[in-house]
Structure 1
Amino acid sequence: MTPRDDSDANDNRWSDLDRPPLNAAALRRALVRDGRLWSDVQLVSRTGSTNTDLVAFAANGKAEEGAVLVAEEQDAGRGRLDRRWTAPARSGLFFSVLLKPAGVPVERWGWLPLLAGVATAAGLSRAAGVDMALKWPNDLLVTVGGEERKVGGILAERAGPDAVVVGIGINVSLREDELPVPGAGSLALAGAISTDRDPLLRAVLRSLEDWYRKWRDAGGDPAASGLQETYAAGCATLGRVVRAELPGDTSIIGEAVAVDGDGRLVLATAEGVQQPVGAGDIVHLRSTGSTGSKGPMGEE
């Protein structure tokens, strides 16, 4: 990538001592090594969207597989369904990665955002000491005061015929009065043992590399790579009655019983039909009692 902004801050890098800037040089030393996935790590103080920027760099031939673009602040971050994602500067992790899954059939690329969810949850569980769960397809959940809250999300976008950009946003140190919407949370509010973003980011990227290599080496097969089983084990949506709000202002209510080989959520409806859902917004309604509450990545 050609742009480089290692000032590590906005107008005043020490304006909030509880939120120190990331160290770009240290991140590159830790992550960019011969034979590993991550080829470059760039840090900018502020941008609209790391996904938009990295897609553009890839389209212009300015980014290779394994490029990582991190922003201390985003003012036009996007989530699924074009929802806006905003947070105070240096209060979270906002980054995108460029992947080129050569040898993996395109029809299996839909597993990449789910893979990123598994990897992010696993990395944060270890580094932050916080129990994480996944809401289908790729929302990251924590528990704050006994309430399930969203702490992060993932957005995957095509970047040409052979590449995908995966963007990840995680609320790290947001306080209650800084939360953007009801139902949001942060690692700090969930009792994280650390909110130091450097080791958190390294943990997530290393976990993402491990899972990506396993999945790619298996030709993108979610069963053979262990991805499908691990995702199901950590998915808080399974075993619940949910409402799937689908494109076209339609909805389906049913029990979420499985995630199929295409990454779709399978709902068992009251009519006895098993309906796969590949896109839409999922609303958790209640537990069926058929499964226990999910712990860290699915442990009961």
Structure 2
Amino acid sequence: MTPRDSSDAHDEPGDGPRASRWSDLDRPPLNVAALRRALVREGGLWSSLDVVPATGSTNTDLAGRAGTLAEGAVLVAEEQHAGRGRLDRRWTAPARSGLFFSVLLRPAEVPVERWGWLPLLAGVAVATALPRAAGVDTALKWPNDLLVTVDGEERKAGGILAERAGTDGVVIGIGLNVTLRKDELPVPGAGSLALAGAVSTDRDTVLRALLRSLEEWYGRWRAAGGDPAASGLQETYAAGCATLGRVVRAELPGDTSITGEAVAVDGDGRLVLATEEGVQQPVGAGDIVHLRPA
């Protein structure tokens, strides 16, 4: 799917008429020129930055153009209609209520078997940037959910999806609810920076912080040849992971599940569960349900 221009951003079939992009003064559009000045620079990771009014999925769009783009291309959508999370779950939100963006990475010097750390790396980048940029503590639910605290409860405010792009690229998509209000939440367990008491919900500021943090962590990981321990990634992820120390249920492909205490994230980025049978079982893919504190 290709990005749509502003003329058709108001005519999505089945959605009815939409308000003008200028109608919500609390949600101004991103300042593209200022973002490019701040982020696209000689010797830096980010090679280009484009913002479209609306699209289906920034991941799909960027992956489709990967063959013509340099590493470090960034695509941001003010509104996303077919954003996807894990297990092909839909990710939608009102226009300019969040940050919906994808980046193209080509970690050629890192062994492919270590590329599975990239979505966890993105999670660490977001979780370490948001306290400084927005004053909101963010925890990580393995493997790639971003949690904030709203009224004393853990809520999902964002998610990360990594997909291969050709033979040498990875597209990482990040969706983050910024100013979503309570009556706009798609599900009861959702949250946003605003609902978590953010001191700033300026999306330009937050996006700059996220991309700078992502550049820093990607640089560390790449310089270490993708070694999660040497780069500090494994330790930092574990320190910020709300799943560790919890009793969880891992719902696995094939309609099977494992229940146990999440005790570690191993060198391959897998979640290690200690089961009642005394077995330590690594989980590389699946849906994790937090059941109760350990």
- TM-score bin, normalised by smaller chain: over 0.9
1:37 has 2:63 as partner: no
Aligned to 1:52: 60
Change in Cα spacing, 1:216 to 1:6, as seen in structure 2 (3 Å) is farther
Aligned to 2:27: 19
Quick check: 1:21–1:90 contact (8 Å CA) kept in 2? Answer: yes
Q: Which of 199, 204, 208 is matched with 1:198 structurally?
A: 204
Aligned to 1:297: none
Structural RMSD (CA): 1.5
Aligned-pair CA distance for 1:66 = 0.2
Unaligned runs of 5+ in 1: 289-300
SS of structure 2 residue aligned to 1:161: coil
Quick check: 1:73–1:94 contact (8 Å CA) kept in 2? Answer: yes
SS of structure 2 residue aligned to 1:27: helix
Aligned-pair CA distance for 1:138 = 1.0
Please say which of residues 10-19 and 218-227 is displaced more in the overlay. 10-19
For the residues of structure 2 that align with 1:266 and 1:105, how far apart are their CA atoms? Answer: 22
The number of equivalent residue pairs is 284
Aligned to 2:277: 271
Aligned to 1:125: 131
For the residues of structure 1 that align with 2:286 and 2:122, how far apart are their CA atoms? Answer: 18
SS of structure 1 residue aligned to 2:133: helix
For the residues of structure 2 that align with 1:123 and 1:219, how far apart are their CA atoms? Answer: 23
For the residues of structure 1 that align with 2:232 and 2:84, how far apart are their CA atoms? Answer: 29
Q: Which of 252, 269, 289 is matched with 1:283 structurally?
A: 289
Aligned to 1:154: 160
SS of structure 2 residue aligned to 1:107: helix
Aligned to 1:83: 89
Aligned to 1:292: none
SS of structure 2 residue aligned to 1:219: coil
Q: Which of 154, 160, 170 is matched with 1:164 structurally?
A: 170
1:228 has 2:227 as partner: no
Deviation per residue, 1:245-300 (Å, 9 max, x gap): 00000000000000000000000000000000000000001111xxxxxxxxxxxx
Deviation per residue, 1:92-113 (Å, 9 max, x gap): 0000000000110000000000
SS of structure 2 residue aligned to 1:123: helix
Deviation per residue, 1:131-156 (Å, 9 max, x gap): 11000001000000000000000000
For the residues of structure 2 that align with 1:6 and 1:216, how far apart are their CA atoms? Answer: 38
Aligned-pair CA distance for 1:62 = 2.1
Quick check: 2:135–2:199 contact (8 Å CA) kept in 1? Answer: yes
**What letter is aligned with 1:127?**
A
Change in Cα spacing, 1:102 to 1:5, as seen in structure 2 (3 Å) is farther
**What letter is aligned with 1:119?**
A
Scaled by the length of structure 2, the TM-score of the pair is 0.94
Runs of 4+ aligned residues of structure 1 deviating over 2 Å after TM superposition are 2-7, 9-13
Aligned-pair CA distance for 1:13 = 3.1
Quick check: 1:6–1:43 contact (8 Å CA) kept in 2? Answer: no
% identical equivalent positions = 83
SS of structure 2 residue aligned to 1:224: coil
Deviation per residue, 1:162-210 (Å, 9 max, x gap): 1000000000000001001120000000000011100000000000000
Aligned-pair CA distance for 1:123 = 1.1
Aligned to 1:97: 103
Aligned-pair CA distance for 1:3 = 7.3
Aligned to 2:145: 139
For the residues of structure 1 that align with 2:186 and 2:31, how far apart are their CA atoms? Answer: 26
Q: Which of 212, 228, 233 is matched with 2:218 structurally?
A: 212
For the residues of structure 2 that align with 1:45 and 1:53, how far apart are their CA atoms? Answer: 13
Change in Cα spacing, 1:65 to 1:284, as seen in structure 2 (3 Å) is same
Aligned-pair CA distance for 1:12 = 2.6
Unaligned runs of 5+ in 2: 11-18
Change in Cα spacing, 1:4 to 1:79, as seen in structure 2 (3 Å) is closer
For the residues of structure 2 that align with 1:36 and 1:205, how far apart are their CA atoms? Answer: 11
For the residues of structure 2 that align with 1:15 and 1:250, how far apart are their CA atoms? Answer: 48
For the residues of structure 2 that align with 1:42 and 1:131, how far apart are their CA atoms? Answer: 28
